[in-house]
Amino acid sequence: MRRRLSLILALSLAAAACGGGGLDEESSGREIFAATCAQCHASDLSGGVGPRLGLGAPSSDKPVEYFVQTISRGQGRMQSFGGALSVNQIQRVVEFILTEQGREFTE
């Protein structure tokens, strides 16, 4: 009985940690982008409501810090994701975008 209770507790804690759209600390940059950003930037990064972010996009000459700041603090019509995403998740999504732009990701 005791064992079962701790199992249930562990399962509900795991579910709570998954919160925002099934994302967690293990989610890849691509998964985070698909769940959080693709609605405005398109899953192939070709843009829509928000600017194009993929290969050859206007932002492809911007430094890593520009991406981290834009995403965590928001910019213009784009909301801030600093509350919704963890630092790790933001890093992973930036890494995904830079890789799609054909760049190396350096912290």
The four Cα atoms 33, 36, 42, 45 give a dihedral, to 10 degrees, of -30
Among 28, 69, 70, 86, binds ligand HEC (CB under 6 A): 70
d(C-alpha 59, C-alpha 54), whole Å: 9
d(C-alpha 28, C-alpha 48), whole Å: 22
- Smaller CB separation from ligand HEC, 21 or 58: 58
d(C-alpha 19, C-alpha 107), whole Å: 27
Over the window 8 to 47, marking each residue x when it contacts ligand HEC by CB under 6 A and - when it does not, the resulting string is ----------------------------xx-xxx------
> CB atoms < 10 A from the CB of 35, how many?
15
**Piece of 5-13, 15-23, 63-71, 99-107 that binds ligand HEC (CB under 6 A):** 63-71
Binding-site ranges for ligand HEC (CB under 6 A): 36-37, 39-41, 49-51, 53, 58-59, 67, 70-71, 75-78, 81, 93
